[in-house]
Amino acid sequence: MKPRIFDPNRREVLAGLGACAAGVLAGGATPPVTAQLALQARASTLALGAGQPATPIWELAAVSHLRDVRLKRGDRCEVVFRNDLPVPLAPVWYGLNGPVTTDPLRGRAPAPPNAVETSIISIPNAGTLLADFRLFEDGLKQPARPLPIIAAETSPAVVDRDEVLLIEEWRLRPDGTAVPPGENPKDATPLYTINGQTSFELSALGHQRLRLRFINGSQRTVLAIKLEGHDVRVLALDGQPAEPFSARNGALVLAPGARVDAFVDAAASAPFLLHDGKAAHQVGSLKISDQLERRVPLAPPPLPSNDLPEKLDLRGALRFDVALGFPDAGWTRPVYFSTASAPAFRAKTGRTVMLALNNPGSVTAVFHLHGHPFRLLDKLDDGWKPYWLDTLAIEPGQTHRIAFAATAPGRWLLESVATDWAAPRLVRWYAVE
């Protein structure tokens, strides 16, 4: 049964909005709404500990959809968000680039408890996206789950199955409760799930072609996941198409928040192995129940372009140094964030921006750029890797250089967090004018 979270006035609101959209379209000003999405921030539970009570968690749920949220590139989506948690919250979209609804920290206040807010969000690019309210983790009383969102290509790739695999990390206390990120985990034990299950099983037919959308939904840990005995072909990173390549040894390495779209021809039953930098854990399995006719070897063409720039002007780029993670370098917790603070940098629309990201800390740091995907530059700054990213893990003492085309005017967030469960999430902002 589809959950009901809105009172009867909700249908009246939708009807009114639809009529309004139709009227505006008739006037030739605004395109119509083509998709609708109802989101709810709510309390829930997960069965994480054998023989223990279900673990209380918070989650962002799509109550308008029975399974995965699937939108299309080019959609104009009406999003209705209801906050049924006792703290102010708002969904933040990761991987949705360009001029979208104002992110909460950049001027739009988060929704108070029991509030319902409606907004219109354009979907300019296809890819694997993530909606999340964990940017507000300073106020969260329970660990929280994000919501994967698929924005389909206008000409989807031909596969037999398209599946989301959301990998999550928990710190479980002996009593079955879980420690929220940003707090000292003390004697809590790490635990990993796929799609909320401690032993995930994906059933498929032999020789089925699978599109697997891996998402590292963990908060603090760089993870590697491998499907034993299979050739894993990467076609997209962080929601953006890449030149297809085979994952080294079949393993995919994902920073927290990173996404990888991979194609796999199901060959035989095999385990999903997850490595957290300390040990390997079996977190699920691929189970083959029958066989299809053998097909030609996997050699997929690239996914359709999201129309990102083919070239970046590195010679004429604006260059900035950004040290990650220190308050005296301008970083602050989201709860204290204000755009009255000095920006990390400013750029004119249309300019190429190069950032030298330095991690002066003692553990790996994760960097996320809102608003624009970026290229990871080669060591000599004379070229870039053949893919786009929005999230990057940087080891202690290392500097990585990235570049992006500043195409979306506005104020955008930078995020940084150390890969330590107790470390705070930190933010800054930058301006494209």
Output the tens digit of pLDDT for each of the chain's 433 residues.
333 333 333 333 333 334 333 333 344 567 899 999 999 999 999 999 888 899 999 999 999 998 899 999 999 999 999 999 999 999 999 998 876 555 666 667 889 999 999 999 999 999 999 999 989 999 999 999 999 999 999 888 889 999 999 999 999 999 999 999 999 998 899 999 999 999 999 999 988 999 999 999 998 999 999 999 999 999 999 999 999 999 998 899 999 999 999 999 998 999 999 999 888 999 999 999 887 766 666 678 899 999 999 899 999 999 999 999 876 678 999 999 888 889 999 999 999 999 999 999 999 999 999 999 999 999 876 789 999 999 999 999 999 999 999 999 988 999 999 999 999 999 999 999 9
For the chain, the domain total comes to: 3
Range of the domain at 371: 318-432
Torsion angle, alpha carbons of 366, 368, 374, 379, to 10: -20
Regarding whether 145 and 91 lie in a shared domain, the answer is: yes
Kindly state the tokens that stand for 41. Answer: 């921030």
pTM reported for the whole predicted model: 0.90
118 and 230 both lie in a single domain = no
Domain termination residue (choose one: 151, 176, 207): 151
Q: Which helix (H) or strand (E) is 10 found in, with range? A: helix 9-26
Burial class (CB in 10 A: 0-12, 13-18, 19+), 354: buried
Residue 428 lies in a domain: yes
The closest alpha carbon to 301, from 162, 161, 155, belongs to 155
In whole angstroms, what is the distance from residue 103 CA to residue 320 CA? 24
Phi, psi values for residue 49, rounded to 5°: -115, 125
Which sign, positive or negative, has the C-alpha torsion 175, 180, 185, 188? positive
Instruction: Tell whether 199 and 124 lie within a shared domain.
Output: no
Q: What is the strand order of the sheet 365-369 is part of?
A: 346-347, 426-432, 410-418, 365-369, 391-394
Residue 19 falls within a domain, yes or no? yes
